[in-house]
Amino acid sequence: MGAFFLFLFLAPALPAQTGSTYFLIVGGLGGEPDYEQRFASYAGDLEKIGKALAADAEKVIALSGKAATREAIQGAFDRLAQRATAADALAVFLVGHGSFDANTYKFNIPGPDLTGEELKTLMDRVPAARQLLVTATSSSGGCAELLAREGRVVVTATKNGTERNATVFARYWVEALRDPAADADKNETISALEAFRYAEEKVKRFYTDQKRLATEHPRMEGRLAGSFVLARLGTAAVAATDPAKRKLLAEREAIEQQIDALKYRKSAVPTADYKKELERLLLGLARVQDAIEAAGGK
């Protein structure tokens, strides 16, 4: 068996993205009217963004405020575990307050809080091979290592559990998924990586402009965030409403995911094999892009 084919055999398989992206958005307790309103607003915005990408309201579950109980969250994950397949992707967004006692992260919801360990168990049950978790809460960095795993990207509003102040990260994460400026590579899609970098910079700028000591430092764990698409813009958004064009967009995103996976494993692949496979993928990407443009999408 050649070295490159051995590499392909050993590397974790990435499903072709003919599957769907499922979304779960949870707005936690605010504790006071201002935060209650903010968290509900951010959760509502994320629900709209998820529905626009999924093009199917059944693939988006949103819980907020008093409705976001432990039982409701567990029920939502039960539905996701039953519906999603390995070929699908899962994106989970938690917006609200969190806490960390040096051992356990907790997401503040009505009744008993949801712990990081419980969240890990719930996410692990969903068979979607590609997963994204965004915990836009205080102290969220305290669960980053716990929740990280192969195929899952974990984004937290803070770098550790000791950053306990209320965060502004959620505001800029939502903004990133709507602002064309977040589309760094100008392909009319916004990836988790692009959204993170945009929100991270906005958070820094917020504290600088306010002349305040930064009490949150966003963090990202996991690979392949660059190919985890969360929003489409312009002609790509229009193209996604046409079944034929939507299939082409999915093919493009699948190839981009394979390119990312290859780049992450570059050091383990003989140079000649790496160049050969990269060339093959880039040619495939160009062919799909030509087909998208011929069909009227960018």
Q: Within this chain, do residues 269 and 180 fall inside the same structural domain, yes or no?
A: no
- Strand intervals (E) in 68-158: 89-95, 98-100, 105-107, 114-115, 130-136, 152-156
**pLDDT on residue 56:** 87
Mean pLDDT of 7-20: 45
Q: Which of 194, 213, 232 is the endpoint of a domain? A: 232
**Torsion over CA: 108, 113, 116, 122 (sign):** negative
Indicate whether 9 belongs to any domain: no
Indicate whether 13 belongs to any domain: no
Q: Within this chain, do residues 67 and 173 fall inside the same structural domain, yes or no?
A: yes
Which of 40-49, 88-97, 238-247 shows the lowest per-residue confidence on average (mean pLDDT)? 238-247
For residue 13, give the DSSP letter. P
Mean pLDDT of 23-44: 94
Q: Which amino acid is at 199?
A: A
Total domains present in the chain: 2
Indicate whether 37 belongs to any domain: yes
Indicate whether 112 belongs to any domain: yes
Indicate whether 16 belongs to any domain: no
Indicate whether 15 belongs to any domain: no
Return all residues near 209 (Cβ < 8 A) that are at least 6 apart.
none
Indicate whether 6 belongs to any domain: no
Give the model's confidence band at 40: pLDDT under 50 very low, under 70 low, under 90 confident, else very high. Answer: very high
Indicate whether 287 belongs to any domain: yes
* pLDDT, tens digit (0-9, with 9 covering 90-100), for 199-235: 999 999 999 999 999 999 999 998 889 989 999 888 7
Does the pLDDT of residue 14 top 50, yes or no?
no
**Torsion over CA: 108, 114, 120, 122 (sign):** negative
Q: Which of 232, 250, 276 is the endpoint of a domain? A: 232
Q: Within this chain, do residues 125 and 183 fall inside the same structural domain, yes or no?
A: yes
Mean pLDDT of 68-96: 97
Q: CA nearest 147: which of 177, 175, 126?
A: 126
Q: Within this chain, do residues 250 and 228 fall inside the same structural domain, yes or no?
A: no
Does the pLDDT of residue 45 top 90, yes or no?
yes
Q: Within this chain, do residues 91 and 175 fall inside the same structural domain, yes or no?
A: yes
Q: Within this chain, do residues 192 and 268 fall inside the same structural domain, yes or no?
A: no
Give the model's confidence band at 239: pLDDT under 50 very low, under 70 low, under 90 confident, else very high. Answer: low
Q: CA nearest 123: which of 69, 76, 185?
A: 76
Which of 39-48, 140-149, 239-248 shows the lowest per-residue confidence on average (mean pLDDT)? 239-248
* pLDDT, tens digit (0-9, with 9 covering 90-100), for 137-146: 999 999 999 9
Does the pLDDT of residue 251 top 60, yes or no?
yes
**pLDDT on residue 296:** 63
Q: Within this chain, do residues 98 and 240 fall inside the same structural domain, yes or no?
A: no
Q: Within this chain, do residues 122 and 250 fall inside the same structural domain, yes or no?
A: no
CATH number at residue 190: 3.40.50.1460
CA dist., res. 153 & res. 19, Å (int): 18
**pLDDT on residue 42:** 96
Q: What is the mean pLDDT of the chain?
A: 87
Q: Within this chain, do residues 135 and 266 fall inside the same structural domain, yes or no?
A: no
Three-state secondary structure call for residue 20: coil
Q: Within this chain, do residues 257 and 283 fall inside the same structural domain, yes or no?
A: yes
Q: Within this chain, do residues 73 and 221 fall inside the same structural domain, yes or no?
A: yes
HSE of 217 in the Cβ direction (CA atoms, 13 Å)? 8
> Which residues constitute the domain of residue 252?
235-294
Q: Which of 232, 247, 271 is the endpoint of a domain? A: 232
Q: Within this chain, do residues 134 and 37 fall inside the same structural domain, yes or no?
A: yes
What interhelical angle do 169-176 and 192-209 show, nearest 10? Answer: 130
